[in-house]
Structures are given as structure tokens and as C-alpha cells.
């Protein structure tokens, strides 16, 4: 059920582990895990494994008892999020006795630092949208950008592409003391831990880290989707344009409502 079901096989293969379950032997689940353990010994790999396994179980339970078939991408994103949140909680636990809640609202950066929020949108026409907004310590938008790109990519890859694009625009606009904020916990985790691999996602995060090293100051932050609505709106807005758009000291009127909402102000 957890391994050899055709749906489970597909989920394991599409996961970040790229696990081909048929390559490992075992007449029971425990024996099968033992076979896998002989090959994969990295602790972080197994964190993702057990989190994904739980996702397989929950997906099957929802499907059978609630008649709800969750998308594989949703299951995998949740699995990675759990691992990232667990590691983040452990890191904070070394210096804080009480776990800090994940931010739900956008917060302004310290004076002299520009916060760069980024997000992505996936359209049905094999196109993706990248959005980025740069704001100062009082919440004023100092730059905004959106770009539509042709292609079909995994969600995490597109999110990384959006951050790289936003950082490039920020640096070209002269902002070299920045805080890069995303609502993708896998991206935040990878950048904070400076993890690199040879996947498309890993190569893009490597680009981001290289660009960050060229800044005078660069930090990384995570915020839930509710605190990243301006960047998300810009990513969706990219579908209206055929080329790169950059706004300096202003932003498109279409996102005025969400900009004001982040500041706790009414647009009327």
C-alpha cells in the first residue's frame, strides 16, 4: 500500500527523493526500508522520506474514506514544508524556549534595508509568471517587476526563478542591502542552509546565493502566503504583458489594494 501501489510509486518517483521503489527488495515494508537504508544514509534524506511516507498514507486515507483525491504536488509540497518547519523549529529551539510562530503578515524591514518579496504563478498555456516587489522600512514600494516566461516547470523551480529575477532587478536598481522573503519554505530552507544540488532547483538557488554574496547585506525570510500577496499579484499580472515590466518608485494600479492591505490601510 505504501510502496507498490501504482499511485504511491508515482508519488515516490516525483518526490525530491526520485525514489524508484522497484529497485529495492523486501517481503515486508520493514525489509524494504532496510534495503533502501543500505543505499541512502544521509539523515536529511530520511527526514524527507518519513514526511513523504506520511503524505502517502494521508492521501490514501482521504481518497478512500472522504472521496477526496489530493494532487501529488500538494502532498509533496506539504512533506517538504514539514521538514523545513521541523528544522527551523530545532534551530530556533537552541536559543528560544518558546517556538516563534511563522509570520502571516508582511512586516517592514529595518531602516536601510530593502525587503524583496517574490512569488510565481503558473498559467494553463504552458507559461509562468514571475513577480517581485521591493519595499523600504516604512513600507513604500521602491520598485516592482513582473515577467512572463514560456515553459512548464515544477512549483519550487518557478518560485526560485521568481526570487532570482526579483533579486537581479533589485541589484540593478541599486539596492544592495536586502532581505529576500518568500512563501516557499523549501526555497527558504535551501537558501538559509546554503544547500546546493545538481537539480534545476539547486542550480537556481546556487545562482541566488552567488548574487547574494555580491550584495553588501543579504538575509532570507519566510512568510505565509497571506503576507506575500503583493508579489503574488504581480506574478499573475505578468499575463497581461508580452515582455519584462519594471516600475521604479511606483507600481501598477492593479495591485494598489493589496499594497494598502499590507500597510493596514484602506484604499478608499
Domains in the chain: boundaries = 6-93, 114-262
Mean pLDDT score of the chain: 86
Alpha-carbon distance of 77 to 82, in angstroms, equals 9
Q: For domain 114-262, give its CATH number from 3.30.750.24, 3.10.20.30, 3.30.465.10, 3.30.420.10.
A: 3.30.420.10
pLDDT value for 99: 39
> Is 139 a residue whose pLDDT tops 90?
yes
pLDDT value for 66: 87
> Is 93 a residue whose pLDDT tops 70?
no
The whole-model pTM stands at: 0.64
Q: Residue 119 contacts by C-beta under 8 Å, 6 or more apart in sequence?
A: 131, 132, 159, 162, 182, 183, 228, 231, 232, 234, 235
**Higher per-residue pLDDT: 78 or 55:** 55
Alpha-carbon distance of 44 to 143, in angstroms, equals 38
> Is 37 a residue whose pLDDT tops 80?
yes
> Is 102 a residue whose pLDDT tops 70?
no
pLDDT value for 94: 43
> Is 113 a residue whose pLDDT tops 60?
yes
Average the pLDDT over each of 66-75, 87-96, 249-258 and give the range with the smallest value: 87-96
Average the pLDDT over each of 128-132, 185-189, 219-223, 253-257 and give the range with the smallest value: 185-189
pLDDT confidence tier of residue 155, bands split at 50, 70 and 90 = confident
Q: Residue 113 contacts by C-beta under 8 Å, 6 or more apart in sequence?
A: 137, 177, 178, 179, 217
Average the pLDDT over each of 45-49, 61-65, 134-138 and give the range with the smallest value: 45-49
Alpha-carbon distance of 98 to 89, in angstroms, equals 10
Q: Tell how far CA 185 is from the center of its chain.
A: 5
Helix (H) or strand (E) holding 51: helix 43-61
Q: How far is CA 9 from CA 13, 16, 79, 212, 247, in A?
A: 6, 13, 16, 38, 46
Please say whether the beta carbons of 166 and 175 come within 8 A: no
Amino acid at each position: 500500500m505504501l510502496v507498490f501501489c501504482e499511485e504511491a510509486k508515482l508519488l515516490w518517483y516525483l518526490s525530491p527523493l526520485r525514489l524508484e521503489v522497484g529497485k529495492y527488495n523486501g517481503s515486508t515494508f520493514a525489509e524494504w526500508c532496510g534495503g533502501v537504508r543500505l543505499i541512502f544514509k544521509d539523515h536529511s534524506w530520511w527526514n524527507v522520506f518519513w514526511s513523504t511516507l506520511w503524505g502517502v498514507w494521508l492521501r490514501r486515507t482521504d481518497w478512500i474514506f472522504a472521496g477526496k483525491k489530493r494532487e501529488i504536488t500538494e502532498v509533496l509540497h506539504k512533506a517538504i514544508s514539514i521538514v523545513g518547519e521541523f528544522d527551523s523549529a530545532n534551530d530556533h529551539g537552541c536559543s528560544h524556549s518558546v517556538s516563534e510562530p511563522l509570520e502571516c503578515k508582511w512586516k517592514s524591514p529595518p531602516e536601510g534595508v530593502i525587503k524583496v518579496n517574490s512569488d510565481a504563478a503558473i498559467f494553463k498555456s504552458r507559461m509562468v509568471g514571475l513577480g517581485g516587489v521591493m519595499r523600504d522600512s516604512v513600507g513604500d514600494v521602491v520598485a516592482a517587476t513582473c515577467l512572463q516566461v514560456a515553459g512548464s516547470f515544477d512549483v519550487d523551480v518557478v518560485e526560485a526563478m521568481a526570487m532570482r529575477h526579483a533579486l537581479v532587478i533589485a541589484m540593478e536598481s541599486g539596492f544592495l542591502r536586502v532581505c529576500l522573503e518568500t512563501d516557499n519554505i523549501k526555497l527558504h530552507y535551501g537558501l538559509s542552509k546554503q544547500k546546493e544540488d545538481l537539480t534545476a532547483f539547486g542550480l537556481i538557488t546556487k545562482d541566488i546565493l552567488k548574487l547574494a554574496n555580491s550584495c553588501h547585506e543579504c538575509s532570507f525570510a519566510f512568510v505565509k502566503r497571506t503576507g506575500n500577496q503583493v508579489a503574488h499579484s504581480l506574478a499573475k499580472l505578468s499575463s497581461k504583458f508580452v515582455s519584462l515590466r519594471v516600475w521604479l518608485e511606483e507600481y501598477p494600479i492593479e495591485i494598489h489594494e493589496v499594497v494598502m492591505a499590507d500597510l493596514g490601510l484602506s484604499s478608499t
